[in-house]
Amino acid sequence: MHVLYLFDIDGTLLRADGAGRRAFDRVMLAHHGIAQASHDIQFGGKTDRWLVDEVYQARLHRAARTAEVDAFIADYLVLLDEELQAKPLRVLPDVVACLRWLQQLPNVTLGVATGNVRRGAELKLAQAGLTDMFVFGGWGCDSADRPTLVQRAVERGRDLVPPAQRTNTFPIVVGDTVHDIAAARMAGAHACAVTTGGDSRSTLAAADVVFDGLGELPAWHAAKFPTATPFSIE
């Protein structure tokens, strides 16, 4: 058995406190002269390209053309970097300890499954000091559709598993929204939810397990896969 973890980023590992939304709004203002264009749009669990299309539908009452989405994302990445420099993101409690503990286990490989396009994910993980924790991923540039990018992440993770174990992999999505849970189901992955993104336990009840923080994950993992060593936060 080889366990593949696919971690969502925003609300699960860290909180960027609106940096993405501010960057989004700055692009809409620059491209279409519309201020605070995302004010009534929920960002959680959605992919970058999905959000561009949703903003276009809400403010311009039409779909975004592919070239417009590409131009939007290119400018968004520049402004996201600026916003993150101006107001650094916060790594959520126990995230580093949890990832370090998982990282030292045999037969466990860590990746990301995020709606951020790859460059956006890299900016956030670099500022969080988490870049080296993950060796594969699925990103918002793989697809606007979250289940599709989760499936790509599972495939990339499986490619890293020794061939003898490849037919016996156990993918686990860890995320903070119903979109993460739905995508996990459609990709055939186990679904762990965390309430650190703001969604409540009852909202996330469709998950296989709900944690109030990633500090709870190691004990769950150790119980589910009993060869693991006990967890302690020093």
Does 10 bind Mg ion (CB under 5 A)? Our answer is: yes
Does 83 bind Mg ion (CB under 5 A)? Our answer is: no
Report in angstroms how near the CB of residue 214 gets to Mg ion at its nearest: 13
Query: Which residue's CB is nearer to Mg ion, number 11 or number 138?
Result: 11
Does 53 bind Mg ion (CB under 5 A)? Our answer is: no
* Cβ atoms 10, 44 nearer than 8 A: yes
* Cβ atoms 198, 219 nearer than 8 A: no
Report in angstroms how near the CB of residue 148 gets to Mg ion at its nearest: 17
Six-digit token string for 34: 């519309």
Per CB under 5 A, contacts with Mg ion among 170-229 are 176
* Burial of residue 212, with CB atoms counted within 10 A of its CB: 0-12 exposed, 13-18 middle, 19 or more buried: exposed
Q: Using CB positions, name the residue nearest to Mg ion.
A: 11
User: How open is the CA angle 115-62-39, to the nearest 5 degrees?
Assistant: 55
Report in angstroms how near the CB of residue 134 gets to Mg ion at its nearest: 15
Query: Which residue's CB is nearer to Mg ion, number 114 or number 169?
Result: 114
Interface stretch with Mg ion, choices 47-55, 76-84, 169-177, 181-189 (CB under 5 A):
169-177
Six-digit token string for 187: 């990709």
Residue indicated by tokens 């916003």 = 83
Helix (H) or strand (E) holding 123: helix 118-128
Q: Which residues contact 42 (CB under 8 A, 6 or more apart)?
A: none
Report in angstroms how near the CB of residue 45 gets to Mg ion at its nearest: 6
Residues binding Mg ion: what is the number (CB under 5 A)?
A: 4
Query: Which residue's CB is nearer to Mg ion, number 25 or number 176?
Result: 176
CB atoms within 10 A of CB 142: 22
Report in angstroms how near the CB of residue 10 gets to Mg ion at its nearest: 4
Does 157 bind Mg ion (CB under 5 A)? Our answer is: no
CB atoms within 10 A of CB 2: 20
Query: Which residue's CB is nearer to Mg ion, number 83 or number 199?
Result: 199
Query: Which residue's CB is nearer to Mg ion, number 20 or number 157?
Result: 20
Candidate residues 2, 7, 11, 111; the one interacting with Mg ion per rule CB under 5 A: 11
Across the beta sheet with 209-211, what order do the strands follow?
136-138, 108-113, 2-7, 169-175, 190-194, 209-211
Candidate residues 7, 8, 111, 120; the one interacting with Mg ion per rule CB under 5 A: 8
Query: Which residue's CB is nearer to Mg ion, number 8 or number 142?
Result: 8
Binding site for Mg ion (CB under 5 A): 8, 10-11, 176
